[in-house]
Chain A
């Protein structure tokens, strides 16, 4: 198992190196950083001096290595637009995105698993069929349209929930949270639904399919033949076997929730890293873009690693080197 994990960590490092290369390339090929930093009135000497200062006259590999070194320490330089360290800007914006992703991830997971089980167990029932049909519509609508409809119904027509922003936040020093104020919680609802709905329908369909598959297995028949109650068959015998693929997909979905957050944050003007990135793109703020890219890929890689570990926790067949013993 240790060997497996080490191998996975090694693969993750390769992925990060590759992403780092892309981010590094952005600095060098999308616009000239020297151009960006010096004003209109510059001399050739100024340019040379700055190039030297920034290490731009050094060989490619040396530059790349330095970039990685800095990136590993969370140092991405100054934002072209705000003139402040990128790391600080990201740290300010990250809580908003993570809270949004957390809430919609939980929403998607709980809603998806519950509805998936329900539609699998009652697969010929009216309610299950209605849910399946609605979910099909949900999957095929573009996300931003759902956001716009949500805003129209709940903000414009009913006036229950805010249509933009994060509400009041409480600053804990290292983290600003919207969980502690009523307006913060209210502001979370619509964006969380918009962001989580698509993932929820995906998880629901996955759970349903897996569950139906598992319910056809011999060991389920054998459990029935032993007089085990339906409740235990569904929630103990079947659900546990459904979870392995569900965890994989959910893990990957969690990554894409953070990525998809760009759209949601734009629609709801949610002050997270996604909105920061969109604004950075408009201003060609390369350090911010590169840092965002690196951060998202670190998250994806970390999530994948965690998902792999969860496999081991759930499926005893993967723990092969622990033969013989029980827990």
Chain B
């Protein structure tokens, strides 16, 4: 198999605090291949953004990568710092943030922001950069791109601004794009357009996309594979259909049961009782065990292994699909 664009291996991010060391990302591993969208889901505070920030090298102090590896097309980048890392950002990996209203510099025209980024990474003249900037706006579906190149961000609507943000993230043609909740701040009607745009760019350019969201609907719509995070750990990872229809981890199953999805028909929604534990107060064993209806003594003592299951991977002593199988055979 070809080398994945992004390969995260046993990534641990730590934050030293007065009350001890927190691990917002704990032993997370996953790959994303060219042209693939990996959805990363989980409740707010699960560590999704931390993972994305660690990959692109924008962790805010005092958070830092404690151990593990991040490989970009096979090249280790977790130990890069300063200028070497800056050169990769924008050029080989781009990032899209949640709120298009605050992501763009209000006092610079979109053209200025685009050409600056392009000229930083590509060896082109200003005129060429301007042409590329227009092309980038055109590609993300901004009408009359050349006429709007000198507009300021406030002259665009929210959805159009997110398109500009996407153009900015992609204008130097990165291999990897990390989209951190790219639709959360947008109107529902615009969300689908932005997701469709991301899918198209991913397909046409063969970009690897890490799509962070807490919206299962977005995942079902866009992702090829899904990583489910819970309290800093990867609960489950697998192809989107399997994870949605046939979850292995009880947390994933609970998450699905609590989300209205077209593919599930008219099932009654059920909330998982309780809430995700705070980072400083994680239980000894599996972080989900206090809320898990299947939890046994073993689960409360030891977080358990991450197992290969028939779908992918699940960090659970008793993955549902295998227990289901066991029950069936008994």
Contact = CB atoms under 8 A, between A and B. Distances in A.
Contacts, number: 87
Contacts of B108: 236-237, 240
B88 A227 contact: yes
A226 B169 contact: yes
Contact of A226 (B117, B151, B152, B154): B117
A261 B149 CA distance: 48
Given A225-B89, A226-B89, A226-B169, A219 B154 contact: no
Given A326-B151, A327-B150, A222 B107 contact: no
A112 to B, nearest CB: 20
A227 B102 contact: no
A101 B154 CA distance: 38
Interface stretch (A182-190, A265-273, A312-320): A312-320
Most chain A C-beta atoms within 10 Å of own C-beta, residue among B102, B106, B107, B108: B107
B120 A317 contact: no
Nearest to A217: B102
A219 B104 contact: yes
A223 B105 contact: yes
A232 interface: yes
Given A227-B90, A240-B108, A222 B165 contact: yes
Interface in B62-121: 86-91, 94-95, 97, 99, 102-109, 113, 116-117, 120-121
B293 interface: no
B168 interface: yes
Nearest to A319: B152
A227 B174 CA distance: 11
A227 B168 CA distance: 11
Contact of A316 (B89, B117, B154): B154
A83 interface: no
B105 A219 contact: yes
B152 A317 contact: yes
A228 interface: yes
Contacts of A237: 105, 108
Interface residues of A, number: 27
A323 interface: yes
A217 B155 CA distance: 20
Contact of B106 (A224, A227, A236, A241): A241
Chain B residues touching A, majority SS: mixed
Contacts of B13: none
B105 A241 contact: yes
B124 interface: no
Nearest to B150: A326
Contacts of A39: none
B58 interface: yes
B56 interface: yes
A129 to B, nearest CB: 18
Contacts of A226: 89-90, 94-95, 117, 120, 168-169, 172
Interface residues of B, number: 35
Given A226-B169, A240-B107, A316-B154, A219 B102 contact: yes
Given A225-B58, A226-B117, A324 B107 contact: no
A325 B152 contact: no
Contacts of A315: 106-107
Contact of B120 (A219, A228, A241, A314): A228
A326 B109 contact: yes
Interface string A197-234: 00000000000000000000111011111111110100
Given A237-B105, A241-B106, A241-B107, A225 B155 contact: no
Contacts of B103: 218-219, 222
A316 B56 contact: no
Nearest to B105: A219
B224 to A, nearest CB: 24
Nearest to B91: A227
Contacts of B113: 223
Contacts of A230: 86
Contact of B168 (A217, A222, A326): A222
A241 B105 CA distance: 8
Contacts of A223: 105, 113
Nearest to B112: A236
Contacts of A327: 150
Given A218-B97, A222-B95, A227 B104 contact: no
A228 B87 CA distance: 8
Most chain B C-beta atoms within 10 Å of own C-beta, residue among A217, A223, A229, A230: A223
Nearest to A232: B116
Given A221-B58, A227-B88, A228-B117, A324 B165 contact: no
A221 to B, nearest CB: 7
Contacts of B154: 316-317
B171 to A, nearest CB: 8
A223 B90 CA distance: 9
A227 B155 CA distance: 25
Interface in A302-321: 314-317
Given A317-B154, A324-B155, A326-B151, A225 B107 contact: no
Nearest to A226: B90
A316 B88 contact: no
Most chain B C-beta atoms within 10 Å of own C-beta, residue among A227, A232, A316, A326: A227
Given A221-B97, A222-B97, 4 more contacts: A219-B106, A222-B168, A315-B106, A323-B155
Interface of B: 56, 58, 86-91, 94-95, 97, 99, 102-109, 113, 116-117, 120-121, 149-152, 154-155, 165, 168-169, 172
21 contacts: A218-B102, A218-B103, A219-B105, A221-B97, A222-B168, A225-B56, A225-B58, A226-B94, A226-B168, A226-B169, A227-B120, A228-B120, A229-B86, A230-B86, A237-B108, A241-B107, A316-B107, A316-B152, A317-B106, A324-B151, A327-B150
Interface of A: 217-219, 221-230, 232, 236-237, 240-241, 314-317, 323-327
The 3 closest A-B pairs by CB, nearest first: A326-B150, A227-B90, A226-B90
